Amino acid sequence: MMNHFNKFLIAGELLAVSVVFSSCEQVKEVQAPNIIWITSEDNSSNFLQLYDEKGVPAPNIEFLAENGIVYTHAFSNAPVCSVARSTLISSRYAPGIGAHYHRKIQQVPMPEGLRMFPAYLRDAGYYTTNNAKEDYNIIKADNVWDESSNKASWRNREENQPFFHVQNIGVTHESRLHFTAEQMQKQQNTTDSDSVFIPPYHPQNELFKYTYARYYDRNMEMDQQVGKIVNQLKEDGLLDNTFIFYFGDHGGVLPGSKGYLKEQGLKVPLVIYVPEKYKAIAHNSRGTEVDAFVSFVDFGATVLNLAGIEVPEEMDGNPFLGKGIKSKELKKRDETFSYADRFDEKYDLVRALRKGNYKYIRNYQAFNIDALQNDYRYIMLAYENWRELFKKGELDNNQSSFFRTKNPEELYDLENDPYELNNLAKDPQYAEVLNSMRNSLKEKIMDVSDLGFYPEHYFLDNAVMNPSGFGMERKDEIEKLIAIADLALLEFDDAKEGIEKSLQSDNHLERYWGLIVCSTFGEEARDFIPDIKVMTLNDQEPINRVRAAEYLALIEEEDPTVVINEALAKSTKLAESLLILNTATLLKDINSPYPLRISAELIPENLMGENYIERRVNYINNNDSE
């Protein structure tokens, strides 16, 4: 069978592309480079000594750094695998293309006119391989990979064919910390538990020390696997022709990192090995650091640029390495945008913007708690221990914040507060910074036509066939929903008229957000109790009846049990049922006074058989978890 490479040879091309650069005022042409991504799962940059003196040595990654570039401000745009990887493969912000839920209930198509970036490499004659994790929330076309499997390798290409290869390393994945109490007693770590650093937001006990030490060991094991891949390239005589990207697929993985828009969930190591012959297009001496902000949305565009392929206009990302990229311009890049939505069975809607040393987080459902039950998270003993210590009142304020309702806005000065403990959002001295960051984030989410402002079941019913097109057509509506959500940022007296208008709207989505704003204001919104009680009975949308009952329960005005069970009995949609159960889980986790119980027999059989639904019902009805 004729492959892409042979097609280009027949067409008379020397190779698919060549890279042209200027060095010492002479124009040189070199063979198109090979490019490898080595991706380790779930690890933040701080676990490596290369980034943090408290981290572990990683001699193989350090070898790449000595012969390449260390990026000190590299970020995943999402703190969880499928959304982060969807951003990487599409070069688009996930909420703008409907790829923002982890994990997908239904995959979405790529935006019209845009393909997953490896397809452009294949067109140019590259051999493209992925070994092996994909985890895309996006439908993958047949033209993306020559091979994607646990056997995929650059060694299967045609002779002299340039290649792009992705190698995933799973040894640092969260699941590697799912040890039992018995295993903890029997399995000794290489790293001494007393030598590890525990951040101030975590309990300083033996379990956390052991968990950190175990993860340090996993990072050292990961580095060894990086070394094996580099050695394979040496054996094949390819090191002089191959750019090697090493990076984590998002932050993590100790409690409160993966899944959350803190720096621990987003900031990743990124080291790029630059072959000597290509150093002119790197614009930096090998063995240097770059402080420019780069994020996953930029990675695909960067690979195309290194390969000499034009970057499609439809991509959100911008190259940060290769032809045409100037160091002076890179220094101006000081901003990154991030997002979190459903994480398995746990719903929240959070967006964040970091600019320079300031970090702004917008919690659109601030009455939620970060510690909301997520079964997979709480397999980790450290998570369960953290929660038990909170229930016993044995945590300090910093350690307890994970279990408390949030503020609608968070603002941190990361230079002076690297662990994001001191929220400056209400400090008058930072009012100007807050307003600037707030406006910048709002502009960003409107620019991408953020689909997170639609409940997931509505999105699946109406937008899933063409999410980006739907978002573009509904820009005005999205802007209106954002405006309603932002009423929560006003003083209540200033927001009251807007809330009343939204609750009385003919548009059920506006009513939905009006109710969420009421829950954010809590007791202050009591004037709306009569209207909201009527909504628990008469709103045409089951989820709105539940949101109304949620508000009344949060202020301890009315038991929501009947409303929640009736809505579950009528729902035929997985995403809608999950969102309803999210309310019930929240009320349980904040110790609501109502003895909520889910009538599982009322839930349609096809939904009760869904893993996420069953998890939620069992947790809510299990008194032992209280």
Counts of helices then strands in the chain (DSSP H, E): 24, 14
The two most distant CA atoms of the chain are separated, in Å, by: 78
d(CA 423, CA 332): 26
Give the whole-angstrom CA distance, residue 109 versus residue 536: 36
Closest to 615 (Cα-Cα) out of 587, 581, 592: 581
Angular region, 252: left φ>0, alpha ψ -120 to 50, beta rest? left
Q: Which helix (H) or strand (E) holds 617?
A: helix 611-621
Distances (CA, A) of 343 to 40, 170, 260, 349, 569: 20, 19, 10, 10, 24
Q: How far apart are CA 588 and CA 583, in angstroms?
A: 9
Structure tokens at 48: 């490596």
Tell me which of 81, 110, 352, 603 is the catalytic residue: 81
Please state whether 6 falls in left (phi above 0), alpha (psi between -120 and 50) or beta: alpha
CA proximity to 118, closest of 110, 106, 107, 126: 126
Residue 24 annotated in active site = no
User: Left (φ > 0), alpha (ψ -120 to 50) or beta: where does 25 sit?
Assistant: left
**Cα–Cα dist 319/324, whole Å:** 9
- Give the neighbor-by-neighbor strand order of the sheet with 127-131: 147-148, 127-131, 163-169, 34-40, 242-248, 267-273, 68-75, 288-295
**Cβ neighbours for 100, distance < 8 A, ≥ 6 positions apart:** 78, 83, 94, 137, 339, 341, 451, 452
Question: Three-class SS of residue 406?
Answer: coil
**71 within 8 A of 295, measured Cβ to Cβ:** no
The tally of CA atoms less than 13 A away on the side-chain side of residue 135 is 18
As annotated, the active-site residues are 81
